[in-house]
Homo-oligomer: A and B are copies of this chain.
Amino acid sequence: MSDLLERLRERGWRLTAQRRVVAEVLDGDHVHLTADEVHARAIERLPEISRATVYNTLGEMVTIGEVIEVATDGRAKRYDPNAHRPHQHLVCFRCGTVRDVHPHGDPLAALPPAERFGFTVSAAEVTYRGLCPDCS
């Protein structure tokens, strides 16, 4: 988190109260908030922060690779601060809860050359779906 802010600064970015709050709100494990959820929590600490700033700041964090954008449901994008090590996501059908998971093996390896159609394939995102314990 202050780690994140430090990296922002190294990029010559100005450290503002707004950016600090967004980074703090997003900190933690298994955090997958939407932009509006981030905004709502940020307002508790900094009442005058605007939606546009939250969107801008999240976008900047995604650009430098400190935060990952996750589209689990075709609705609002979610923001995942766990960009340190590669992982995938497990989503509940009913309540939408998201967990980070670590499958073994490289998902890219399962795609044979003949199925790549000349693409230079460089990433694979896996979304596992099921019912969480609370929703069973």
| Residues of chain A having any CB pair with chain B under 8 Å | 69, 71, 73-74, 77, 90, 92, 99, 101-105, 107-108, 110-112, 115-133, 136
Q: How many copies does the complex hold?
A: 2
CB distance from A54 to the nearest CB of B (A): 16
Chain B residues with CB under 8 Å of A120's CB are 130-131, 136
Asked if B118 contacts A133 (CB within 8 A), the reply is yes
Q: How far is the CA of A113 from the CA of B103 in the complex (A)?
A: 10
Asked if B105 contacts A118 (CB within 8 A), the reply is no
CB distance from A76 to the nearest CB of B (A): 9
CB distance from A99 to the nearest CB of B (A): 5
Asked whether A103 and B110 contact (CB < 8 A) given A90-B116, A125-B127, A130-B123, the answer is yes
Asked if B121 contacts A124 (CB within 8 A), the reply is no
Asked whether A119 and B104 contact (CB < 8 A) given A69-B74, A71-B73, the answer is no
Asked whether A125 and B123 contact (CB < 8 A) given A69-B74, A74-B71, A115-B103, the answer is no
